[in-house]
Chains A and B, each alone.
Chain A
Amino acid sequence: MLTWIVRRLFQAFFVVVAMTVIVFVGVHVIGNPVDILISPEADQAERARIIAEMGLDQPLWKQYFFFVNDVLHGNMGRSFVFNEPALKLIGSRMPATLELAVTAVLFSICFGVPLGLYAGLKPDSVAGRAIMAGSILGFSLPSFWVGLMLIMTFAVHLGVLPSTGRGETAAMFGIQWSFLTWDGLRHMFMPALNLSLFNISLVLRLTRAGVRETLPMDYIKFARAKGLTPRRVILVHVLKNIMIPVVTVVGLELGSTIAFAVVTESVFAWPGMGKLIIDSINVLDRPVIVAYLMMIVLLFITINLVVDIIYTILDPRVRLETKA
């Protein structure tokens, strides 16, 4: 187990290195931030001074070298636009996105698993069929439209939920969180639901397929033959067997929800990272883009590691060992 984790961390290191190279080259190819950042009225001397200040006059490999050197000293560069450290900028926006994404994933488990269980246990019932039909909508309706409809319904017509912003926040570990206050929770409910709709459908369908696959197994029949209550058979014997695909998908979706929450964040004016990265790409704020992508890579690596460890808890046949 320990060897396995060390090996995985080693692999992760190379993934990060490869990522920085790809991002650096990619960003360099897109365009020149100087054209956007420097006022057209600036004279040649002024231009040259700013370019030198940003280090953009150096060849790419040198820029990369300086970047790596800075990163090793805990410095991800300063934003061209805000003139603030890129990491600090992302850090100030990250909690908002994190709490939104985690809540969305919690929603997808809390709604997806029970609904999927029901649809799997009673596939021919009206409710079971309705759930499956509904999940198709969850897949196919565009997220921005659903977000607008939620605002129309709950904020405009019913007036029960606020439409935009994070609401009141409270501090924990020196960071401002919305989920700690009632007002914050009210603000979070709609964007989180909007963000989770696709994932609810995904988890629901996976759960249903798992239930349909597990129910005819001999060990389920044997569990019933032991005289266990139907409740215990379903909640322990069936559910534990179908958790592996669900955990895989939830893990991956947590990553992509954090990375691509931008649509929902825009619709609900949620001040998260998604908004920041889109703005940064528009003005070619390289340090912010690079730092952001690095964060996301680290996030995915961490999530995958955690998912693999959860596998071993869920299925004893999975062993985290390296083959000789």
Chain B
Amino acid sequence: MTVTLEVRNLRTHFFTRAGIVKAVDDVSFKVERGQVLGLVGESGSGKSVTGFSIIGLVDPPGRLAGGSILYRGQDLAKISEEEMRSLRGNRIAMIFQDPMMTLNPVLRIDTQMIEAVQAHTNASHSEAWTRSRDALGMVGIPSPEERLRSYPHQFSGGMRQRVAIAIALLHNPDLLIADEPTTALDVTIQAQILAEVQKLATEHGTALIWITHDLSVISGLADRIAVMYAGRIVEAGEASTVLDRPAHPYTHGLIGSVPSRNKKGEKLRQIPGMTPSLLNLGVGCAFRTRCARATAVCEQEPPETLIPPERIVRCFHPMQDVAA
């Protein structure tokens, strides 16, 4: 399998007046062609910032503070803004969380699609229009010719997300970063969008990074899962193993918090406490204040431990046997 994207020791920090916020701190992962990586975590765990770092859209005061982002062997952290622009939306695309906000309210759909086509090709207006129409048809929007003349407010949320997906897939990207694209949608629409993206990604061999806080969404979709907590990946491995036999206490708590796993009448389980502030986070395991298994040793930096065959966990007290 060819590796589409390899992130090595990525650090994205926000240099605010109050101090340095280490939103992404030493994150490494790989996505292969046609593979789906689920990037899971609570709000503020740094998963969205990881996505924006890859596509080069981290706004000041944030910036990449270290590490490399290798797209087909080319380090995206080192290329010029113009080179990055030519990849963005072309080879690497992104869809956002809130479909009500991602389309410009004052521009027609055709304007917003045609400009996306023309940003990366020399297509004429009519060629770009044809491509846009076909792309809308492909994501299941009825009578695309008519809909191209509409404005975003004439679409429902699910339809807008389909338009955003159609735009993201216009150039058959090698990598698609989906930042919680179904969170704001109805459950039925969620399932449709999920199936749609999965189908389109498999057809074109697009590598997919699916960012979510919802484990039930990711379980059927992802090949691999990386769990983020306070800017770090605390556990990563094959999706089924991580979900069936979580090794990190945080992953375990996260899985336990899915309400559908509870019996009726039973008290809902939750992880006690709150995510720590990323501002001036001290050394040691960031989860230790909420962790039942924490001991004195957790005050130190937990090492990355391998659980055979290929699972990685960052914990002194993993819940599964580690390699000797």
> Chain A: residues with CB nearer than 8 A to chain B?
216-229, 232, 236-237, 240-241, 314-317
Pick 28 A–B contacts, CB within 8 A, sort by A: A218-B96, A218-B102, A219-B102, A219-B103, A219-B105, A222-B103, A222-B164, A224-B88, A225-B55, A225-B94, A226-B88, A227-B89, A227-B90, A227-B119, A228-B85, A228-B89, A228-B116, A228-B119, A229-B119, A236-B107, A236-B115, A237-B104, A237-B107, A241-B106, A315-B105, A316-B108, A316-B153, A317-B151
CA distance A318 to B108 in the complex (A): 14
CA distance A247 to B175 in the complex (A): 42
Question: What 1/0 mask marks residues of chain B from 35 to 70 whose CB sits below 8 Å from any chain A CB?
Answer: 000000000000000000001010100000000000
Inter-chain contact B87/A227, CB cutoff 8 Å: yes
Chain A: CB-nearest residue to B113 = A226
Chain B: CB-nearest residue to A314 = B106
> Chain B: residues with CB nearer than 8 A to chain A?
55, 57, 59, 85-90, 93-94, 96, 98, 101-108, 111-112, 115-116, 119-120, 151, 153, 164, 167-168
CA distance A239 to B125 in the complex (A): 22
Known: A232-B119, A236-B115. 15 other contacts (CB 8 A): A217-B101, A218-B102, A219-B103, A219-B105, A222-B102, A222-B164, A224-B57, A226-B167, A227-B120, A228-B115, A240-B104, A241-B104, A241-B106, A316-B151, A317-B105
Contact of B89 among A217, A225, A236, A316 (CB under 8 A): A225
Inter-chain contact A316/B106, CB cutoff 8 Å: yes
In order of increasing CB-CB distance, the 5 nearest A-B pairs are A227-B89, A218-B101, A226-B89, A227-B88, A316-B151
Inter-chain contact A221/B107, CB cutoff 8 Å: no
Contact of B104 among A216, A219, A225, A227 (CB under 8 A): A219
CB distance from A251 to the nearest CB of B (A): 18
Chain A residues near B120 (CB-CB < 8 A): 227
Inter-chain contact B153/A222, CB cutoff 8 Å: no
Chain B: CB-nearest residue to A237 = B104
Given contacts A217-B101, A221-B57, contact A232 B106 (CB under 8 A): no
CA distance A216 to B90 in the complex (A): 23
Inter-chain contact A226/B119, CB cutoff 8 Å: yes
CA distance A132 to B53 in the complex (A): 33
CA distance A220 to B115 in the complex (A): 14
